[in-house]
Amino acid sequence: MIQQLIFAIVTIGAFVYAIKQFSKIRRNILLGQDEVIEGDSGQRIKNTLLIAFGQQKMFKRWIPAVLHLFIYVAFLFTQIELIEIFIDGLTGSHRFFSSILGGLYNFIISFIEILSVGAFIGTLIFLIRRNLLKLPRFHTDEMTGWPKLDGNLILYFEIILLIGIFSMNGADMVLQDRGLSHFANTGDFAVSGWLGPSLFSGLSEGALVGLERFGWWIHILMVYVFLNYLPSSKHLHIMLAFPNTYFAKLTPAGEMENMPAIMNEVKSMMDPEAAFSEDMSMEEELPEFGANDVTGLSWRDVLAAYTCTECGRCTSVCPANMTGKKLSPRKIMMDIRDRADEIGKNLDSGDLQFVKEELRAEAKELTAANYDDGKSLFDYISREEIHACTTCNACVEACPVMIRPVEPILKLRRYEILTESAGPSDWLPMFNSIENTGAVWQIPDARDKWRTEALNEQS
């Protein structure tokens, strides 16, 4: 009874704290602008099943894909055993499903153990790749400090979790063989059936029961640690890959988002009366073009930043990065997430110093609507980075969870050029040329002069 009470308290505490953490992530994502979700829902479901659930894009690099698949499938099937642990923890029963499922139970647990061995091998190889082989994409500037530690921590957690599983099942096998009433016979499991007797047969019954409970508690406590670790980790993609893939744009990757405000500006140049008569009045304030902060991006862009797996596939195929430019699409997404976290923490503080200066005298509380800390995404992302992007969309094609790093890059560039009237000096002649002749080249004649002359000749 005491164990059940402790289990209930620990479980409630873990879930309450996790809910608070995840609610903050949701709040941070919704700092972005509203965006209408368009497109065929059937295609969205198909993408979710194939790409998020089926790991389709992972297999462009089959070696890490197979290793990741072992861990991923083991994670999915282990949830069956986890549900049983919840029931046993609350009711005081032992292997609740064994009497219900009979021989199928032995097959399920054996299958989980085989997958767990594969996951253990995959985990070791991933640790070797990161720390001994030192794959270049895991050792760039943005992958120092916490990102590097974060990438290793989850692998250490996985190993501890597996130790818990096999300690629990291995000791259970020996206790079943000794005929203890509480440990009903389930038959030998695929791995623990020989591993348990090999390692633990010399232990006393008391030591075996203690070892079985140790494995049981290690298992569930690591699950709770992992649950509450996710909100501050790149491994949040375990949960967010599904909504991010579902809500990802269905338009072709190279299709740039149209800006109605820009269309109005062009129409005002061509025909001022037509432009302002319907779409906007002369007194209406000109809109802010692009985005300079998380609050100017779409919520979908911020969701993508929190979904980023930091795998570096986008950066490894980026032609700008490969030629020595400062741009790293992965860093762009990490910077957006870090900036959203910074705003979220400041909002949680409730400190009125973060209220917009013109509203500070009358403000009673700090909200996302009146927030201003004097910083922006340009404090995280340099101008040099966004200028280097060629919008080739190689990063979009490489991303295993359908993130489009090009979109926030374009929004930052639009803000710089259209709102700040800034940008690289060597771009200005191109802009002037487009405005004057409709072509990117500085030529004295109109771009369609050849067409006009051809029509004149025909007539």
More reliable by pLDDT, 431 or 126: 126
pTM: 0.88
State how far the alpha carbon of 71 is from the alpha carbons of 80, 162, 385, in Å: 15, 11, 35
Token couple for 436: 């004057």
Give which of 43, 407, 405 is closest to 246, Cα–Cα.
43
- pLDDT tens-place string over residues 200-225: 999 999 999 999 999 999 999 999 99
pLDDT at residue 128, as a whole number: 95
| Single-letter amino acid code for the residue at 118 | G
- pLDDT tens-place string over residues 69-100: 989 999 888 888 899 999 999 998 889 998 88
Question: Is the per-residue pLDDT at 276 higher than 60?
Answer: no
pLDDT at residue 327, as a whole number: 95
- pLDDT tens-place string over residues 158-167: 999 999 999 9
Percent of the chain with pLDDT strictly greater than 90? 68
Strand partners, 298: 33
Question: Is the per-residue pLDDT at 336 higher than 60?
Answer: yes
Mean of the per-residue pLDDT values of the chain: 89
- pLDDT tens-place string over residues 366-386: 999 999 999 999 999 999 999
pLDDT at residue 99, as a whole number: 86
What number is the average pLDDT over the span 131-158? 92
More reliable by pLDDT, 433 or 390: 390
pLDDT at residue 274, as a whole number: 56
**Range from 215-229, 246-260, 265-279 that averages highest in pLDDT:** 215-229
Range in 57-71, 137-151, 282-296, 393-407 with the lowest mean pLDDT? 282-296
What number is the average pLDDT over the span 228-249? 94
Range in 222-236, 239-253, 439-453 with the lowest mean pLDDT? 439-453
CB count in 10 Å sphere of residue 452: 11
CB count in 10 Å sphere of residue 313: 23
Assign 269 a pLDDT band (cuts: 50, 70, 90): low
Distance CA 301, CA 408 (A): 7
State how far the alpha carbon of 371 is from the alpha carbons of 264, 342, 345, 368, 374, in Å: 30, 12, 12, 5, 9
pLDDT at residue 340, as a whole number: 97
What number is the average pLDDT over the span 112-135? 93
SS3 readout for the chain: CHHHHHHHHHHHHHHHHHHHHHHHHHHHHCCCECCCCCCCHHHHHHHHHHHHHCCHHHHHCHHHHHHHHHHHHHHHHHHHHHHHHHHHHHHCCCCCCHHHHCHHHHHHHHHHHHHHHHHHHHHHHHHHHHHCCCCHHHCCHHHCCHHHHHHHHHHHHHHHHHHHHHHHHHHHHHHHHCCCCCCCCCCCCCCHHHHHHHHHCCCCHHHHHHHHHHHHHHHHHHHHHHHHHHHHCHHHHHHHHHHHHHHCCCCCCCCCCCCHHHHHHHHHHHCHHHHHHHCCCCCCCCCCCCCCCHHHCEHHHHHHHHHCCCCCHHHHHCHHHHCCCCCCHHHHHHHHHHHHHHHHHHHHHCCHHHECHHHCCCCCCCCCCCECCCCCHHHCCCHHHHHHCCCCCHHHHHCCCCCCCHHHHHHHHHHHHHHCCCCCHHHHHHHHHHHHHCCCCCCCCCCCHHHHHHHHHHC
Range in 236-240, 279-283, 307-311, 343-347 with the lowest mean pLDDT? 279-283
pLDDT at residue 273, as a whole number: 62
Assign 272 a pLDDT band (cuts: 50, 70, 90): low
